[in-house]
Amino acid sequence: MHKLPETGYLRLPQIVGDKKADPPIPPVIPVSKSTWWAGVKDGRYPKPVKLGPRITAWRVEDIRSLIKRTA
């Protein structure tokens, strides 16, 4: 299991991973960005929180809950 912070927010690359980052970010939930957004739209994945006009994130607690439900 990946080390997630106790509380706070995660941006999309921290959830689905980013191979192009330096160093690469491994996925917590191994799906594509488009699959993630489709899952958010139909309720499979948690709703995001808008932190600013161009900043979208997810609560760590919601991601932990998702991992427990799917495990």
SS3 state at 47:
coil
**Global pTM?**
0.89
pLDDT digits (tens, 9 = 90+) for 20-70: 999 999 999 999 999 999 999 999 999 999 999 999 999 999 999 999 998
Helices (H), the chain: 12-16, 33-42, 60-70
Stretch 13-19: mean pLDDT? 96
- Give me the residues paired with residue 58 across strands: 10
The domain spans of the chain are 9-70
CB 30 within 8 A of CB 16: yes
CB 27 within 8 A of CB 17: yes
Query: How far is residue 28's CA from residue 3's CA, in Å, rounded to a whole number?
Result: 9
